[in-house]
Amino acid sequence: MKSEWHIVSNERIAERVFRMILRGDTAGIAPGQFVEVLVPGCYLRRPLSVGDVTDDRLTLIYKMVGEGTARMAQMSSGQTLDILTGLGHGYDLTKAGEQVLLIGGGVGVPPLMYAAKELRAAGKHVQVVMGFNSKGEVFGEDTFRAMGCEVTVCTMDGSYGTRGVVTDVLPTPTPFYYACGPMPMIKAILRTAGTNGQISMEERMGCGVGLCMGCTIETTEGFQRVCKEGPVFNAGALKV
Amino acid sequence: MKVRLGNIELANPVIPASGTCGFGQEMSEWLDLNCLGAVSTKGTTREARYGNALPRIAECPAGLLNAIGLQNPGVDAVIAHEIPALRRVYKGPIIANISGFSIEEYAYVCERIDRETDAAILEVNISCPNVQHGGMAFGTSAQAAAEVTRAVKAVTHKPVYMKLSPNVTDITAIACACVESGADGLCLINTVLGMRIDIRRRQPVLANRYGGYSGPGVFPIALRMVNQVSKACPGVPIIGCGGVSSAQEVIEMMMGGASAVEIGAANLQQPGVCRQIIEDLPRVMRELKINHLQDIIGIV
């Protein structure tokens, strides 16, 4: 759905990481789905995961990585944005047992926040393992704890939490998991934790709505568009 | 707003361009396809193709590069699944876009589409710049373009529109060669060959190195070529394509010589843009004192 959103706030929450809260029509936005933000001055929309949805508020947590997100970081409350919402297939939260594991890396963490909220509301016991490069990039720990999740944070350089990567600290046996993060992390999860989970993929997109075939990946179920059949795939379907 | 492409009447001149609306049905989530003048489907080849390695999209000022590499499920699946799926939600004219890697493949796919679908027009892509050993060679040589045209015309009674590459010195020479070989119409332009480099990684952004540039940045190039071809091939219907994003630009393209207009990159930014353009056209026509779009084709 295409609609206009009003920026309520836009603040830096970690190194190069910003949280933008917008007001608009939040109908039909599920955990793991993404939105496409038309940033004034850029031709293609920016695909961003959904950090939270409450009433008429949408939370986007994004990392400043290029021209589009740099422009977004300069925006402030009162400005409006043209956003396509409810895109792609999100996490199937019905697959979770009573024990659930969320695994996130860097700006792969935000979609897990929204998933955690829904899982906690359904009475699940949620363990969260998050990985970052260093202390300055860490965010979200308090949010998960406030929901009643059990949280483990690790950093590559050991400046915060456990030194190392998420797969060093995964619980065994590993319950059904939902994951999102960079490709090296996804490969490590598949190696270490197996395929009993769902993983959100990230690819450079053209349209984000299934028209251009710019983001197609090969899966065990054939060629699938990350923007349309994804971004969340069953871990066992991925060929990475 | 009615226009004609040869004997085929379109309710309006607006057509989502091949490659920017999937096989059509993908766009139906964003607009009622029945508002469109026609739909140009995703380029179809004999075999199923994955296309090029990722990344195959790169943003540019005023547009994007793509090197999709003709991802499509192959002609069998297009006939069995894609066209029927489009027909469930769309009643209007279908323009079937066809690609090939040999003269025989073009002819084979055209014959199948001709025989087994109700497509109104065959749009033959001889210009796709992003496939190695692909359409490029045909679209950049008048002789090769003529050969494809003759081969396709020999196997179909449907109108054949050759889709031309802008990556040539003189597009009118290619256009005339196609028309002399029996093309019923022309569609131009395909994307303009381009490149982006990731200066941090010191690598091309596209895995395919080069890709086709489309979007508002190519509009003046497309308009100039449509105008040149319309003068060189008088009376031949032209579908103008390249960077069109508004009703005003549709009219500009038609004044330049196009009988209908394809909208490409703009769909990727605004998936409902074709409906918006169609809704805006009557107002813009009134402002410009245009009674019938048919009256302005090629007046400049």
Mean pLDDT of B45-68: 96
The answer, yes or no, to whether residue B134 has pLDDT greater than 60, is no
On whether the CB atoms of residues B31 and B92 are closer than 8 A, the answer is no
Give A199-223 as a DSSP string: EE-----SSSSSSS-TTEEEETTEE
Final residue of a domain: which of A62, A87, A112? A87
| Percentage with pLDDT > 90 across chain B | 94
Residues A77 and A146 in one domain: no
User: Residues B21, B60, B110, B128: which is the catalytic one?
Assistant: B128
Residue A147 lies in a domain: yes
* Closest among B100, B48, B38 to B79, alpha carbons compared: B48
Our answer to whether residue B21 is catalytic in this structure is no
**A211–B26 C-beta distance less than 8 A:** yes
* Model confidence pLDDT, tens digit, residues A85-96: 999 999 999 999
On whether the CB atoms of residues B33 and B27 are closer than 8 A, the answer is yes
In A, which residues are within 8 Å of B265 by CB distance?
43
Q: Give the number of other Cβ atoms within 10 Å of residue A39's Cβ.
A: 18
Residue A107 lies in a domain: yes
Its domain, for residue A47, covers 2-87
Reported as a pLDDT band with limits 50, 70 and 90, residue B136 is low
The answer, yes or no, to whether residue B232 has pLDDT greater than 70, is yes
CATH number, position A59: 2.40.30.10
| Rg, Å, chain A Cα set | 17
**B19–A212 C-beta distance less than 8 A:** yes
B 167-226 residues with CB below 8 A of A? 215-216
Residues A133 and A185 in one domain: yes
Tokens of A119: 């899982």
Pick from A33, A39, A44 the residue to mutate for testing the B interface (most B CBs within 10 Å): A44
The answer, yes or no, to whether residue A204 has pLDDT greater than 90, is yes
Final residue of a domain: which of A58, A87, A116? A87
CATH number for the domain running over B3-296? 3.20.20.70
* Model confidence pLDDT, tens digit, residues B247-289: 999 999 999 999 999 999 999 999 999 999 999 999 999 999 9
- A47: distance to nearest CA of chain B, Å? 12
| Percentage with pLDDT > 90 across chain A | 99
Residues A44 and A136 in one domain: no
Residues A118 and A140 in one domain: yes
In A, which residues are within 8 Å of B56 by CB distance?
204, 214
Count of domains forming chain A: 2
User: Mapping DSSP to helix (H, G, I), strand (E, B) and coil, where does residue B103 land?
Assistant: helix
Pick from A2, A37, A38, A43 the residue to mutate for testing the B interface (most B CBs within 10 Å): A43
Question: What mean pLDDT is reported for chain B?
Answer: 95
Q: How far apart are CA A37 and CA A88, in angstroms?
A: 14
In B, which residues are within 8 Å of A215 by CB distance?
54, 57
Q: How far apart are CA B300 and CA B292, in angstroms?
A: 16
Q: Give the number of other Cβ atoms within 10 Å of residue A98's Cβ.
A: 10
Predicted confidence at residue B127, as pLDDT, reads: 76
**B29–A215 C-beta distance less than 8 A:** no
* Closest among B214, B255, B186, B207 to B53, alpha carbons compared: B207
On whether the CB atoms of residues B122 and B185 are closer than 8 A, the answer is no
User: Mapping DSSP to helix (H, G, I), strand (E, B) and coil, where does residue B13 land?
Assistant: coil
| Percentage with pLDDT > 70 across chain B | 97
The answer, yes or no, to whether residue B128 has pLDDT greater than 80, is no
* Closest among B187, B186, B134 to B16, alpha carbons compared: B187
Reported as a pLDDT band with limits 50, 70 and 90, residue A212 is very high
The answer, yes or no, to whether residue B131 has pLDDT greater than 70, is no
* Model confidence pLDDT, tens digit, residues A103-159: 999 999 999 999 999 999 999 999 999 999 999 999 999 999 999 999 999 999 999
Residues A147 and A188 in one domain: yes
* Closest among A214, A216, A212 to A229, alpha carbons compared: A216
CATH number, position A137: 3.40.50.80
Residue A140 lies in a domain: yes
Mean pLDDT of B19-24: 96
Task: Please report the ipTM that was assigned to this predicted complex.
Answer: 0.94
Which among A211, A215, A228 is the nearest to B267, CB-wise?
A211
Residues A38 and A113 in one domain: no
B 3-32 residues with CB below 8 A of A? 19-22, 26-27, 29-30
Residue A64 lies in a domain: yes
* Closest among B226, B159, B233 to B189, alpha carbons compared: B226
Tokens of A33: 């789905």
Q: What is the DSSP letter of B49?
A: B
Task: Give the DSSP H/E element, type plus range, for residue A132.
Answer: strand A125-132
Residues A138 and A62 in one domain: no
Reported as a pLDDT band with limits 50, 70 and 90, residue B132 is very low
Final residue of a domain: which of A65, A87, A109? A87
**A211–B22 C-beta distance less than 8 A:** yes
Residue A113 lies in a domain: yes
Write the burial class of residue B74 (CB in 10 Å: 0-12 exposed, 13-18 middle, 19+ buried).
Answer: middle
The answer, yes or no, to whether residue B179 has pLDDT greater than 80, is yes
Cis peptide before B13 (omega within 30 of 0): no
Predicted confidence at residue B130, as pLDDT, reads: 38
Residues A158 and A190 in one domain: yes
Residues 6 or more apart whose CB falls under 8 angstroms from that of B4 comprise B10, B237, B259, B294
**B61–A212 C-beta distance less than 8 A:** no
Reported as a pLDDT band with limits 50, 70 and 90, residue B135 is very low
Which among A2, A84, A211 is the nearest to B20, CB-wise?
A211
Between the alpha carbon of residue A152 and those of residues A132, A144, A173, B140, the distances in Å are 11, 10, 16, 59
Domain coordinates in residue numbering, chain B: 3-296
Which among B26, B51, B271 is the nearest to A216, CB-wise?
B51
Which among B30, B57, B271 is the nearest to A204, CB-wise?
B57
Pick from A33, A39, A211 the residue to mutate for testing the B interface (most B CBs within 10 Å): A211
Interface of A with B (CB under 8 A): 2, 38, 42-45, 84, 203-207, 209-218, 223, 228
Q: How far apart are CA A137 and CA A108, in angstroms?
A: 12
Residues A56 and A133 in one domain: no
Residues A74 and A106 in one domain: no
In A, which residues are within 8 Å of B42 by CB distance?
213
Residue A237 lies in a domain: no
User: Mapping DSSP to helix (H, G, I), strand (E, B) and coil, where does residue A173 land?
Assistant: coil
The answer, yes or no, to whether residue B129 has pLDDT greater than 90, is no
**A38–B50 C-beta distance less than 8 A:** no
In A, which residues are within 8 Å of B50 by CB distance?
216, 218, 223
The answer, yes or no, to whether residue A67 has pLDDT greater than 80, is yes
Which among B50, B57, B270 is the nearest to A205, CB-wise?
B57
